[in-house]
Amino acid sequence: MSVRAVTGAVLPRAAEAASPERVAAALDLLDRRPLVVLTGAGLSTDSGIPDYRGPGAPTRMPMTYQEFVGSHEARQHYWARSHVGWSRMGRAEPNRGHLAVAALDADLVITQNVDGLHERAGTPRLVALHGRIADVVCLACGTVSPRADLQERLGDLNPDWLARHVAAAVRPDGDVDLSAEDTSTFVVPACACGGVLKPDVVFFGETVPLDRVTPCLAAVDALAETDGALLVVGSSLAVMSGLRFVRRAAKAGVPVVIANRGQTRGDDLADVAVETDCATFLESLIGRRAG
């Protein structure tokens, strides 16, 4: 079922993206259907975590996996910024959007976010596609440990760091804006085995683990058998790790609805794409499905 089937005519994307008619079409399409929900950074902006590509977001260049593993200086730069950022991100609370996603009781929620806010909101059946910033992994021995433990070690080794950089601007990945010169004295600890410590998240240039992708693809495929729909919320779909699910659903004839504050890379594949406040849209959907 497309927006044409719901409203009788395709609404012009540029002029009507946030119109009441388009919102109603999206809600009608999702009503009573089984859902798989894909979320992105736009869902966490109301929790004080900026996104990479939302309206008005400045251009940011995240560190790549190759950069991180390539030099001690790069890791020094990463952890120096992340130490400050985690002291703030670690205190972020789920917002209305996270709580609404949890209340939808979807067949599966796939999040591209690493902030752990869906988990804290109590979302059942969740795959954190890109991992969780609250965990740290050793690249040598594979041990996974809590980020809180590393944060304490970093604080002991760099006792005045947080106070010196309290005004640094927060970035989407849980770090802050600091120059390489600013971070050249930062002390980075190793794992007990001597290996390199890395946040247990998928960096740009790194492959999403297959054991996370496989259940997500299976859940999207199952929607074709259950007359379900794929709902994308708060993602620009600029990276393939999320866009692949939209492409797969569209190819299988599964209805796709996208709700985001701006246009997305997947809009042309969607049955309905709405430019809207994500939390408000989700709360309207819950009201519709409960009626």
Write down the residue that tokens 């996104």 correspond to.
51
Distance in angstroms (rounded) separating the CA atoms of residues 71 and 75: 7
DSSP H helix total and E strand total for the chain: 12, 9
User: Which residues fall in the annotated binding site?
Assistant: 138, 141, 191, 193
For 6, the 3-state DSSP assignment is: helix
Question: Measured between alpha carbons, how far apart are the two ends of the chain, in Å?
Answer: 21
Residues placed in the known binding site for Zn(2+): 138, 141, 191, 193
**Catalytic center residues:** 130
Largest CA distance in the chain: 64
Dihedral angle, C-alpha 124, 129, 132, 138, nearest 10 °: 130
138-161 burial, b at 16+ Cβ within 10 Å, e below that, comes to beeeeeeeebeebbeebeeebeeb
Q: Collapsing DSSP states into helix, strand and coil, what is residue 126?
A: strand
Q: Are 53 and 124 in contact (CB under 8 A)?
A: no
